[in-house]
Amino acid sequence: MTYEIPELEGEERAVATGEAVGEWPLWEVFVRAKRGLNHVHVGSVHAADAETAIQNARDTYTRRSEGVSVWVVPSALIHASDDSAAMFEPFEDKPYRHPTFYEIPDEVGQL
Amino acid sequence: MTFDLETDTRLAYVLRLADDLLINSQRLAEFVTNAPELEEELAIANVSLDNLGVAHALYGYASELGGGEESADDLAFLRDEREFTNCLLVEQPHRDFADVMVRQLFFDAWHLVLWPELESSSDERIAAIAAKAAKEARYHFRHSSSWVIRLGDGTAESRRRAQRAVDGLWRFAGELLMSDRVDADAAAAGVGVVPERLADSWHREVRAILQEATLVVPVDPFVAAGGRQGRHTEHLGHLLAEMQYMQRAYPGMVW
């Protein structure tokens, strides 16, 4: 709860107009769980700039020790593939592209 | 309260550290559901919970020092206004986000310089709590200082509000840097620190941020004090009424 404090003379009091104000831009958040692992996308945050985006990401996504490093990227800069059938379906009948399709000679040992 | 704070200055010292944190935590909690963005609400709640965690550890220790008759919860929820020894700064209400962040800057800067000193307290319990709190304080300071810089060096409106917050809260910050007999006794015993010794560091940290924020440091030397002696502004009673309501209305209630 807040308490009314008398305004000083000449001060203008901000009045809620009910109009929507501009939202902060959206940032995509990538967290590295520990050294040696890749940064992995975990979600997004709103923030006015990169520094506050990192702070917000820290408070939103690492407060239970989930990470040792955070990247943020403006969401607007991410270009996504379309989800059409032509994009990925052609690979579904080509199992031989998996390395497991081939017999590995014993001499090779551990790959 | 059955404690004798006149004779047990170690207990009095622990209590004032705890009271500052509990009252500040409650003030920040008021901003939950009222922050400008969901992300900032989480950030403020994080700081509030950090403060509450340290306060809880300190009240637990105070309870032991007092012979265990009053639990940590009793100390937080069943003491009256005059028994709280928090500084006046943390009980000050906020009108807007600038008030919250400037109050936080002054308070975080205090902990930024205080906890590293208390890490070498001769009292092992205080030293251990200080070591944990010092890490948290560094992040809290980063959070509040970056906001004060953005507000001060932001739009005309944000600057006006940030300067208004600085002008309004400055007089309450000085109390953090003033000592009384409890501080002196605690320092003499190697348990605590005399606040005046940290004044230069506090001013350096805070003024550097205000300067970067293009905000004017008030020149008014007046310091409003009395919180350490239990003499509070009218705002603490309202805060306690809300914070202690459950335990007062339903004594011993747990969930």
Contact state of B94 with A2 under an 8 Å Cβ cutoff: yes
Per the domain annotation, does B91 fall within a domain?
Answer: yes
Within a 13 Å sphere around the CA of A24, how many CA atoms are in the beta-carbon half?
Answer: 19
* CB pairs A-B closer than 8 Å: 45
Per the domain annotation, does B172 fall within a domain?
Answer: yes
Report the alpha-carbon distance of residue B122 to residue B117 in Å, rounded. 11
> What are the residues facing A44 on neighbouring strands?
A28
Q: How many domains does chain A have?
A: 1
Q: Nearest 10 degrees: CA dihedral of A82, A85, A88, A94?
A: -170
By Cβ distance, the residue of A45, A52, A63 closest to B46 is A63
Contact state of B30 with A56 under an 8 Å Cβ cutoff: no
Q: Which residues does chain A have within 8 Å of residue B140's beta carbon, measured at their own beta carbons? A: none
Q: What percent of chain B has pLDDT over 70?
A: 97
List Cβ neighbours of B34 (8 Å cut-off, separation of 6 or more).
A2, B41
By Cβ distance, the residue of B30, B42, B242 closest to A59 is B42
Among all residues of chain B, which has the CA nearest to that of A58? B43
Q: What confidence tens digit (pLDDT) does each residue in B69-124 have?
A: 999 999 999 999 999 999 999 999 999 999 999 999 999 999 999 999 999 999 99
By Cβ distance, the residue of A5, A11, A46 closest to B93 is A5
pLDDT of residue A1: 45
Contact state of A3 with B146 under an 8 Å Cβ cutoff: no
Residue B255 has pLDDT above 80, yes or no: no
Per the domain annotation, does B2 fall within a domain?
Answer: no
- CATH code, domain with B159: 1.20.1260.10
Q: What percent of chain A has pLDDT over 70?
A: 80
Residue A91 has pLDDT above 80, yes or no: yes
Q: What is the mean pLDDT of chain B?
A: 94
Cα radius of gyration rounded to whole Å, chain B: 18
Per the domain annotation, does A74 fall within a domain?
Answer: yes
Q: Which residues does chain B have within 8 Å of residue A51's beta carbon, measured at their own beta carbons? A: 146
Which residues form the domain of A49? 22-79
Residue A3 has pLDDT above 70, yes or no: no
Residue B151 has pLDDT above 70, yes or no: yes
pLDDT of residue B35: 85
Average pLDDT over every residue of B169-186: 95
Report the alpha-carbon distance of residue B230 to residue B228 in Å, rounded. 6
Q: Nearest 10 degrees: CA dihedral of A11, B212, B98, A43?
A: 140
Which residues form the domain of B191? 9-249
Q: How many domains does chain B have?
A: 1
Residue A18 has pLDDT above 80, yes or no: no
Per the domain annotation, does A108 fall within a domain?
Answer: no
The answer to whether B99 and B168 are in contact (CB under 8 A) is yes
Q: Which residues does chain B have within 8 Å of residue A8's beta carbon, measured at their own beta carbons? A: 164
pLDDT of residue B4: 66
